[in-house]
């Protein structure tokens, strides 16, 4: 059986290691894109046909959530394209 001293030293070591992990997590940040870069990315999309797979995946996830009872049958999702930042409203597939 570990002594009280070893337990306290172990707990102190775990807290300091966890504290270092939090400090490292603060180093991650996001920055907005420059307008020129955002324009270039929006040109990469090319309209509705470029978003077909994104919308199909979102609809599949929404249908699965409705089937599992997590969301109501009339729920909708807003999907934002990671490239051009255009938003789409996804409705569930009523056929199930």
What's the pTM value of the predicted model, to 2 decimals? 0.53
Claim to verify: residue 49 and residue 85 sit in the same structural domain:
yes
CA 44 – CA 50 distance, rounded (Å): 9
- Burial class from Cβ neighbours inside 10 Å (0-12, 13-18, 19+) for residue 81 reads middle
CA 84 – CA 87 distance, rounded (Å): 9
Token pair 């909708």 is at which residue? 76
CB distance 54 to 66 below 8 Å: no
Cα Rg of the chain, angstroms: 23
Claim to verify: residue 2 and residue 35 sit in the same structural domain:
no
Q: What is the pLDDT of residues 62-92, one digit of tens each?
A: 999 999 989 998 899 999 887 777 888 999 8
Q: What is the pLDDT of residues 2-28, one digit of tens each?
A: 787 777 777 776 766 655 555 555 666
Claim to verify: residue 40 and residue 83 sit in the same structural domain:
yes
Claim to verify: residue 38 and residue 25 sit in the same structural domain:
no
| Domain limits for position 12 | 1-30
Claim to verify: residue 26 and residue 50 sit in the same structural domain:
no
Claim to verify: residue 6 and residue 47 sit in the same structural domain:
no
Q: How many domains does the chain have?
A: 2
Claim to verify: residue 52 and residue 25 sit in the same structural domain:
no
């Amino acid at each position: 059986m570990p002594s009280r001293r070893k337990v306290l030293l172990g707990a102190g070591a775990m807290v300091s290691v966890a504290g270092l992990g939090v400090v490292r997590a603060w180093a991650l940040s996001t920055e907005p894109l420059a307008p020129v870069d955002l324009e270039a990315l929006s040109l990469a999309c090319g309209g509705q046909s470029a978003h077909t797979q994104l919308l199909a995946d979102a609809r599949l996830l929404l249908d699965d959530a409705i089937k599992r009872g997590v969301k109501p049958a009339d729920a909708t999702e807003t999907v934002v394209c990671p490239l051009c930042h255009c938003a789409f409203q996804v409705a569930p597939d009523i056929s199930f």
